């Protein structure tokens, strides 16, 4: 298993190009199943989750071609004319929960899907009942057997329905949005997630010929169409990668230019950074991040967009570890997303986590230690801590980090970090 060996204490300064968004690329790749024709996707991040989604789609019969590989990111051509399988195995779902995003498009286009039921997850229960209830309302027959979801649509296809999600769900909204594009009649999704990644998917579907109203709001109205065509799309920048590197600059007292990203995508994170004493300036091609004052403690409450993103909670907690004063982090989205807190304590942090709350008393400095990533964002938080800590930090299980950050060590090394990958 690969590890990062980090010798901390170097300011992270320079330019980091921000990659395309993982959580936009994955549903858009899944949505390519709906197209009659070729889909071309630009700015797709080269990360393990995308490789897994490419594998999943090719196993089913999609022809996946990589057109251009820049220094970061790639262009993918997806052509689904020879579709042969509608089954997603446990093997792939256990590696990538986002495989559940295949359910909606498969059912809409082929009226049948069999997807392994995702199991437990290190950040919380993460059930998919809301997806399944909504698909049932659209006429699908759902059976749970032998660890698989088997879903069958009526002979004439799914039908439009009025759906209210009890809790905002990102992939739930995306699954139903995709399913509704080819359903008979109108679907209304209430309490829809309005994360930028959901809007990017919706824009992509509209370019394919879908009829969607209310993009970016909590109510989406979709009138089903007969078919969708191929199209080209440029995946939006990754706001969580942007926020993660912004914290690297703030923590180490460096100055970073984050290229090809936009402030509008992460307003709540910028408010947090500003309150902590970090300057964020927008330029035409990206953001400049600079620590202006000693870092102050700021409370964080995670919420669905436009609230503070749960995916930024762990990296932001690392920043709070050496802030002056005490901050309280409230995690409202997932029920077990503080695994990084115990690892940060091993590096000298003072965090008390209980239930949905963590109390962080700022300490003067962190010190290097061997630590272990338990999930993608926890891993990122530990890398950030290693960059700021005195001495050597070894972050184990960085396959979690590789799932969602494109060449993290190379991007950081280019800005002065002492970070090596060891196998």
**Is 415 one of the catalytic residues?**
no
Distance CA 43, CA 244 (A): 19
> Cβ 198 to ligand EPU, closest distance in Å?
9
Least gap, CB of 222 to ligand EPU (angstroms): 18
Query: In this structure, what are the phi and psi dihedrals at residue 136, rounded to the nearest 5 degrees?
Result: -65, -40
How far is Cα 384 from Cα 247, in angstroms, rounded to an integer? Answer: 8
Q: What is the smallest separation between the CB atom of 233 and ligand EPU, expressed in angstroms?
A: 17
Report the SS3 class of residue 49: helix
Cβ count within 10 A of residue 314: 31
Shortest CB 387 distance to ligand EPU, Å: 20
- 175 lines the binding site for ligand EPU (CB under 6 A): no
Give the residue, chosen from 129, 185, 294, 307, that forms a contact with ligand EPU under the rule CB under 6 A: 129
Q: Which is nearer to ligand EPU, 10 or 22 (CB)?
A: 22
Q: Are strands 211-213 and 186-190 parallel, antiparallel or unpaired?
A: unpaired
Q: Based on CB atoms, which residue is closest to ligand EPU, 52 or 311?
A: 311
Which residues inside 244-273 make contact with ligand EPU, applying CB under 6 A?
Answer: none
Element (DSSP H or E) covering residue 294:
none
**Span 89-108, contacts to ligand EPU by CB under 6 A:** 98
φ, ψ of residue 387 in degrees (nearest 5): -65, -30
List all residues 6 or more positions away from 196 whose beta carbon is below 8 Å from its beta carbon: 21, 24, 236, 239, 265, 305
**Based on CB atoms, which residue is closest to ligand EPU, 353 or 369?**
353
Residue 332 Cβ vs ligand EPU, minimum distance, rounded to whole Å? 9
Quick check: 131 binds ligand EPU (CB under 6 A)? yes
Q: Order of strands, edge to edge, in the sheet holding 211-213?
A: 162-164, 186-190, 219-223, 211-213
13 phi/psi in degrees, rounded to 5: -135, 145
Q: By C-beta, is 24 or 212 nearer to ligand EPU?
A: 24
Interhelix angle 376-388/313-321, rounded to 10 degrees, is 20
Report the run of H or E that residue 408 belongs to, with start and end.
helix 408-413
Which listed residue (1, 68, 84, 125) binds ligand EPU by CB under 6 A?
Answer: 125
Is 405 in a helix, a strand, or coil? coil
Q: How far is the CB of 234 from ligand EPU (least distance, A)?
A: 18
Residues 183 and 106: their CA atoms lie apart, in Å, by: 12
Which region, judged by CB under 6 A, interacts with ligand EPU, from 124-132, 242-250, 341-349, 353-361? 124-132
Provide the CB-side half-sphere exposure for 238 (13 A, CA): 28
Between 13 and 242, CB nearer to ligand EPU: 242
What's the closest the beta carbon of residue 254 comes to ligand EPU, in angstroms?
25
Q: Write the binding mask 275 to 314 for ligand EPU: x where contact by CB under 6 A, - elsewhere.
A: -----------------------------------xx---
State yes or no: residue 404 binds ligand EPU (CB under 6 A): yes
344-353 long-range Cβ contacts below 8 angstroms, 24+ apart: 344/317, 344/318, 344/371, 344/381, 344/382, 344/385, 346/370, 346/371, 347/371, 347/385, 347/386, 347/389, 347/393, 348/389, 349/321, 349/385, 350/321, 351/317, 351/321
Residue 146's contacts (CB-CB under 8 Å, 6 or more residues apart) are none
Contact between 172 and ligand EPU by CB under 6 A: the answer reads yes
Q: Which is nearer to ligand EPU, 85 or 167 (CB)?
A: 167
Residue closer to ligand EPU, measured from CB, 49 or 396: 49
Residue tagged active-site, from 121, 194, 321, 415: 121
In whole angstroms, the minimum distance from the beta carbon of 1 to ligand EPU comes to: 19
Task: Print the binding letters for residues 332-361 with ligand EPU: x by CB under 6 A, - otherwise.
Answer: -xx---------------------------
Q: Which of 23, 191, 242, 318 binds ligand EPU (CB under 6 A)?
A: 23
Q: Does 379 bind ligand EPU (CB under 6 A)?
A: no
Q: What is the widest separation between alpha-carbon atoms in the chain?
A: 65
Q: Which residues contact 32 (CB under 8 A, 6 or more apart)?
A: 39, 41, 57, 62, 78, 80
Q: In terms of CB distance, is 349 or 380 closer to ligand EPU?
A: 380
Residues catalogued as catalytic: 121
- Contact positions vs ligand EPU (CB under 6 A): 22-23, 26, 98, 124-131, 167, 169-172, 310-311, 333-334, 376-377, 404
């Amino acid at each position: 298993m690969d590890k990062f060996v980090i010798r901390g204490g170097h300011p992270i300064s320079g330019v980091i190009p921000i990659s395309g968004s993982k959580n936009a690329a994955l549903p858009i790749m899944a949505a390519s199943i709906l197209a009659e024709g070729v889909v071309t996707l630009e700015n797709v991040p080269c990360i393990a989750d995308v490789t897994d989604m490419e594998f999943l789609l090719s196993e089913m019969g999609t022809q996946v071609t990589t057109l251009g590989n820049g220094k970061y990111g790639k262009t993918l051509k997806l052509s689904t004319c020879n579709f042969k399988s509608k089954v997603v195995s446990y093997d792939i779902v256990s590696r990538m929960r986002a495989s559940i995003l295949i359910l909606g498009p498969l059912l809409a286009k082929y009226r049948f899907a069999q997807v392994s039921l995702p199991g437990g997850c290190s950040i919380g229960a993460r059930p998919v009942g809301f997806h399944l209830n909504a698909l049932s309302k659209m006429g699908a027959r759902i059976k749970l057997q032998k660890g698989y979801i088997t879903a069958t649509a009526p002979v004439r296809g799914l039908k439009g329905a009025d759906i209210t999600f009890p809790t905002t769900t990102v992939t739930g909204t995306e699954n139903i949005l995709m399913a509704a594009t080819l359903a008979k009649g109108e679907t209304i999704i209430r309490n829809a997630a309005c994360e930028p990644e959901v809007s990017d998917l919706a824009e992509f579907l509209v370019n394919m010929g879908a009829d969607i109203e209310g993009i970016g709001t909590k109510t989406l109205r979709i009138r089903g169409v007969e078919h969708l065509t191929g199209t080209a799309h440029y995946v939006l920048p990754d706001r969580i990668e942007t926020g993660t590197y912004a914290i690297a600059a703030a923590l180490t007292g460096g100055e970073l230019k984050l290229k090809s990203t936009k402030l509008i995508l992460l307003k709540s994170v910028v408010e947090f950074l500003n309150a902590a004493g970090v300057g964020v300036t927008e330029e035409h091609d990206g953001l400049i991040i600079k620590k202006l004052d000693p870092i102050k403690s700021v409370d964080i409450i995670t919420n669905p967009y436009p609230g503070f993103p749960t995916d930024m909670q762990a990296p932001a907690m690392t920043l709070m570890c050496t802030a002056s004063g005490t901050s309280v982090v409230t995690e409202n989205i997932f029920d077990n997303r503080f695994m990084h807190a115990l690892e940060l304590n091993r590096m000298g942090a003072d965090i008390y986590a209980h239930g949905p709350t963590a109390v962080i008393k700022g300490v003067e400095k962190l010190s290097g230690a061997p630590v272990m990533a338990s999930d993608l964002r926890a891993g990122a938080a530990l890398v950030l801590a290693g960059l700021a800590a005195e001495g050597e930090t070894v972050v184990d299980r960085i396959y979690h980090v590789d799932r969602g950050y494109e060449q993290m060590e190379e991007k950081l090394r280019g800005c002065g970090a002492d970070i090596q990958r060891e196998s």
